[in-house]
């Protein structure tokens, strides 16, 4: 499961669609509708919130907004608690940088023509960026970081 902290406009088609599906799964986990993935590290930042379902709903709205911009049709009726995606959670600049490098690696393999067009790391509208290292729950590491 990858719940990108990056702005959805940075994701390619596959990344945006996969992100939508994975965020819907995360929503089901946080709502207690499924037993799998309950301990997944990327859920921690949502599960630690006062109203986790509201925050994952805001995250999903940000993905759906980008899908609309591209002319895709994500079913917003599947969002349990939709709300404005404005910054509520924090993400560190170190986490964004790590995810940006991870996305570049993925794009180089599946959509190399998009790598040069990617642009700088920006956060999903749900997140407010703070200074700091990658999140402790992050499992992706690159050779030079291990």
**Two structure tokens written together for 65:** 């907004």
Is 51 inside a domain boundary?
yes
Question: Over the range 49-67, which residues count as b (16 or more CB within 10 Å of their CB) and which as e?
Answer: eeebbbbbbbbbbbbbbbb
Give the model confidence (pLDDT) of 47-56 as tens digits. Answer: 989 999 999 9
Is 39 inside a domain boundary?
yes
Query: What is the total count of domains within the chain?
Result: 1
pTM: 0.90
Backbone angles phi, psi at 114, to 5 degrees: -90, -15
Q: Where residue 142 falls among pLDDT bands split at 50, 70, 90?
A: low
Is 2 inside a domain boundary?
no
Mean pLDDT lowest among 60-74, 80-94, 112-126 = 80-94
Residues 6 or more apart whose Cβ sits within 8 Å of residue 36: 29
Is 1 inside a domain boundary?
no
Is 3 inside a domain boundary?
no
Range of the domain at 19: 8-145
| Burial of residue 15 (number of CB atoms within 10 Å: 0-12, 13-18, 19+) | buried
Give the model confidence (pLDDT) of 19-76 as tens digits. Answer: 999 999 999 999 999 887 777 888 989 998 999 999 999 999 999 999 999 999 999 9
Query: What value does the mean pLDDT take over residues 99-105?
Result: 95
Query: What value does the mean pLDDT take over residues 89-118?
Result: 94
Is 130 inside a domain boundary?
yes
Is 94 inside a domain boundary?
yes
- Per-residue model confidence (pLDDT) at position 146: 37
């Amino acid at each position: 499961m990858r719940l990108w902290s990056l702005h959805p406009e940075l994701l390619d088609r596959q990344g945006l669609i996969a992100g939508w599906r994975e965020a819907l799964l995360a929503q089901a986990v946080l709502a207690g509708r499924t037993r799998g993935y309950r301990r997944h590290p990327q859920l921690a930042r949502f599960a630690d919130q006062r109203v986790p379902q509201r925050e994952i709903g805001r995250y999903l709205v940000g993905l759906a907004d980008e899908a609309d911009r591209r002319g895709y049709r994500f079913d917003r009726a599947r969002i349990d608690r939709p709300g404005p995606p404005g910054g509520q959670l924090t993400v560190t600049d170190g986490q964004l940088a790590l995810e940006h490098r991870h996305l570049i690696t993925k794009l180089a393999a599946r959509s190399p023509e998009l790598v040069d067009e990617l642009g700088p790391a920006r956060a999903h509208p749900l997140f407010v960026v703070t200074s700091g290292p990658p999140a402790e729950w992050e499992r992706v590491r690159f050779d030079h970081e291990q």
